[in-house]
Amino acid sequence: MTTPRTESPTSVGGAAQASCRFCAAPLSHTFVDLGMSPLCESYVSADHVNAVEAFYPLHAKICGSCLLVQLEEFVAPEAIFSEYAYFSSYSDSWVAHARAYVDMAIEHFGLTKDSLVMEIASNDGYLLRHVIERGIPALGVEPAANVAAAAQALGVDTIVRFFGRECARYLVAEGRRPDLIVANNVMAHVPDLNDFVAGFEMLLADNGVVTIEVAYLVRLIAANQFDTIYHEHFQYFSCLTAQRVLAKHGLELFDVEELKSHGGSLRLYAQRKSTGRRPVGERVHELTARERALGYDTLEGHLAFTTQVEETKWSLLEFLIAERREGKHIAGYGAPGKGNTLLNYCGIRTDLLDYTVDRNPYKQGQFLPGTHIPIRPPEALEQDRPDDILILPWNLKEEIADQLSFARDWGARFVVPIPRVEVL
């Protein structure tokens, strides 16, 4: 295990009028304003609990010109991702998702021992280890040295770098042009979106494929998933905006799938427009047509979100306050980034939520950013027997309710906050 980072994040946001990071038009429309919030992964250690904490605006805007929903960059990614507390292998369902993806990709794209698979933001090797097990060469690119070290320990060759044109140029010079580039849950995290996507086109083998998994804006809106908005997520994609961004950099979207992961994601399949040989599939036409029918090709189609978010906040607070008035004790389960957006926006502190628990030993003994709710090991629930357990990673609610089924013995209730307050 590594020690928590102590350096101050560098603020790079300015007071000047922000402009769209994709098309450079001025950003003047609000998508949703969640107020001031600390970085959602900046867990507070016990010896820092009385220290000053940095809060930044969590104000998502939408570009009136290209419709990209985005947050201004207040914190450089080097301050966020150089040492990262998230180890993908701690989630059983995410590891299973990765294995299923690898099996599909090997068959679908005919990958062999002569192919090369590269993953951008390869984390602790949770995905590429399945590629290597099948005898196919793989290379991870991961900016956080601590998680990259975990991947190396699994035998996954990993370079510690941020991805973009410069990294692509370096790999091409080494003669490493992948047949498959995997970019799962990373395209939202890059402030220089154009540099990142341009790197794919430079690097990809002539008839190679890049698959990109990214949270789906249309699902975020439909299910009130405002807690997936945080400073580390610089942009939020519909299929239409993703297609537009890829096309600008010479990449053609030839297939798309809707996935259930992270509350609703898109898996985008792209190839070089100039040398790719796959026809554009029916699913691309269907999904873009559906988005147009729902109004996602217009600014107005995105602007009713704030009202839904306020309603979610009010109903969660009503539930928690009613329970506390009856003398009940409420504990949280999980300390995910999305929980921190939710708790800070709703103003939930230890008066409403006694503590939360998390399986990740890196987080245990620390405090949630902003709200300073303590993080304890999962065993605390058995000792403490809370009346309600608020499941913060609601996207894993079935898995977690299963793991915690023992708590039903003392009558504990499992509660999820999103899309609306619900007792499972």
State in angstroms the smallest separation of the CB of 67 from Zn ion: 7
How many residues interact with Zn ion (rule CB under 5 A)? 7
Residues 6+ apart with CB under 8 A from 400: 333, 334, 391, 393, 414
Assigned token pair, 277: 């040989």
State in angstroms the smallest separation of the CB of 296 from Zn ion: 15
Query: Is 66 one of the binding residues for Zn ion (CB under 5 A)?
Result: yes
The amino acid sitting at 321 is: I
Q: Which is nearer to Zn ion, 161 or 248 (CB)?
A: 248
Query: Is 65 one of the binding residues for Zn ion (CB under 5 A)?
Result: yes
Q: How distant, in Å, are the alpha carbons of 4, 81, 237 from that of 75?
A: 18, 11, 21
Burial class (CB in 10 A: 0-12, 13-18, 19+), 54: middle
Q: Which is nearer to Zn ion, 86 or 236 (CB)?
A: 236
Query: What DSSP string runs through 176-214?
Result: ---SEEEEES-GGG-S-HHHHHHHHHHHS-TT-EEEEEE
State in angstroms the smallest separation of the CB of 61 from Zn ion: 10
Query: Is 60 one of the binding residues for Zn ion (CB under 5 A)?
Result: no
State in angstroms the smallest separation of the CB of 417 from Zn ion: 32
> Which of the stretches 66-74, 144-152, 362-370, 411-419 binds Zn ion when contact is defined by CB under 5 A?
66-74
Query: Is 20 one of the binding residues for Zn ion (CB under 5 A)?
Result: yes
Query: Is 364 one of the binding residues for Zn ion (CB under 5 A)?
Result: no
User: Which of 298-311 are b and which e, b meaning 16 or more Cβ less than 10 Å from the residue's Cβ?
Assistant: eeebbeebeebbee
Residues 6+ apart with CB under 8 A from 310: none
User: Which of 319-336 are b and which e, b meaning 16 or more Cβ less than 10 Å from the residue's Cβ?
Assistant: bbeebeeeeeebbbbbbb
Q: Are 70 and 63 in contact (CB under 8 A)?
A: yes
> Which of the stretches 62-70, 112-120, 163-171, 375-383 binds Zn ion when contact is defined by CB under 5 A?
62-70
Query: Is 242 one of the binding residues for Zn ion (CB under 5 A)?
Result: no
Query: Is 23 one of the binding residues for Zn ion (CB under 5 A)?
Result: yes
In the block, residue with structure tokens 């894993």: 396
Q: Which is nearer to Zn ion, 5 or 29 (CB)?
A: 29
> Which of the stretches 14-22, 35-43, 324-332, 374-382 binds Zn ion when contact is defined by CB under 5 A?
14-22
> Which of the stretches 19-27, 43-51, 145-153, 219-227 binds Zn ion when contact is defined by CB under 5 A?
19-27
In the block, residue with structure tokens 């790999």: 171
What would the x/- binding string for Zn ion be over residues 381 to 400, using CB under 5 A? Answer: --------------------
> Which of the stretches 28-36, 65-73, 219-227, 293-301 binds Zn ion when contact is defined by CB under 5 A?
65-73
Nearest Cα to 346, choosing from 386, 305, 380, 317? 317
Query: Is 95 one of the binding residues for Zn ion (CB under 5 A)?
Result: no
State in angstroms the smallest separation of the CB of 184 from Zn ion: 25
Q: Which is nearer to Zn ion, 25 or 153 (CB)?
A: 25
Query: Is 247 one of the binding residues for Zn ion (CB under 5 A)?
Result: no
SS3 call for 9: coil
Phi-psi region of 155 (alpha: psi -120 to 50; beta: other; left: phi over 0): left
Rounded distance between C-alpha atoms, residue 416 and residue 329, angstroms: 16
State in angstroms the smallest separation of the CB of 299 from Zn ion: 11
Assigned token pair, 293: 């029918």
Query: Is 63 one of the binding residues for Zn ion (CB under 5 A)?
Result: yes
Q: Which is nearer to Zn ion, 18 or 390 (CB)?
A: 18
> Which of the stretches 61-69, 193-201, 278-286, 354-362 binds Zn ion when contact is defined by CB under 5 A?
61-69
Binding site for Zn ion (CB under 5 A): 20, 22-23, 25, 63, 65-66
